[in-house]
Amino acid sequence: MKDGPCRAFHCGTGFAHPKLAPLEARFISGVPAHFDALVKVLRTEKDEYRRSLVPFLLAYGRTREEVAEALLPSLRDSSDAVRNNAMRVLWQTQRGASKPLVPLAPVVRALHGPTLGDRNKASVLLGAVVEKDAALRDAALRGAGPLLVEMVAMRSRADREGSLLALRALAGRDLGEDPRVWKAWVESALARIGAGEAAQK
């Protein structure tokens, strides 16, 4: 757990209101005690609204690793609300970790998902994962670089902001917000990666 607006690995508005403050203790003690039962709800509950609430509860798990492992399969849930909330919690859980908790492959797959929520949450999650291990940058670039460049140029603010966070993590620096600059950088980086791989053959 961490200090902040709540004691979970992901916080919404928290429990700062005096009427809400006493209620958090139920989550702090109750979620770890019933963690497996909550995961079962996340996997099997037919009502997608109920499933979509579970990631916020699981954020009160014992460890970041436990939370990440429980939420990872939900990146392929049929409900966009469940996928969105799972990635939202994974993003915040990953940000506070000292190492990558989520494999790249499912995050890149989610980035190519059908909704704005998929792209937005997967892009910021991708950035958070890569920030913990620079050795992942090349693989992330191959899987996501061109799509992130497309997102930077989109009209949707959510697309642009998420992709910029990811691209800054991939580059290890901020190149601004001009899609043309990022396109040139991604193309150059991918050419470098390709040349390096060819030299090793």
In this predicted model, what pLDDT tens digit does every residue of 85-98 receive, in sequence order? 999 999 999 999 99
Cβ atoms of 108 and 93 closer than 8 Å: no
In 3D space, the residue among 81, 26, 22 whose CA is nearest the CA of residue 89 turns out to be 81
Question: Both 87 and 111 in a single domain?
Answer: no
Residue 92 belongs to what domain range? 1-102
For residues 115 and 175, state if they share a domain: yes
pLDDT in tens, 15-57: 666 676 778 888 899 999 999 999 999 999 999 999 999 999 9
CA angle 113/147/65 to nearest 5° reads 60
Say whether both 81 and 114 belong to one domain: no
How far, in Å, CA of 114 to CA of 161, rounded? 18
Q: Are residues 177 and 115 in the same domain?
A: yes
For range 67-86, the mean pLDDT: 97
- Same structural domain for residues 86 and 144? no
The whole-model pTM stands at 0.91
Nearest to 64 by CA among 87, 34, 98: 98
Statement to judge: residues 88 and 130 lie in one domain: no
- The count of domains in the chain is 2
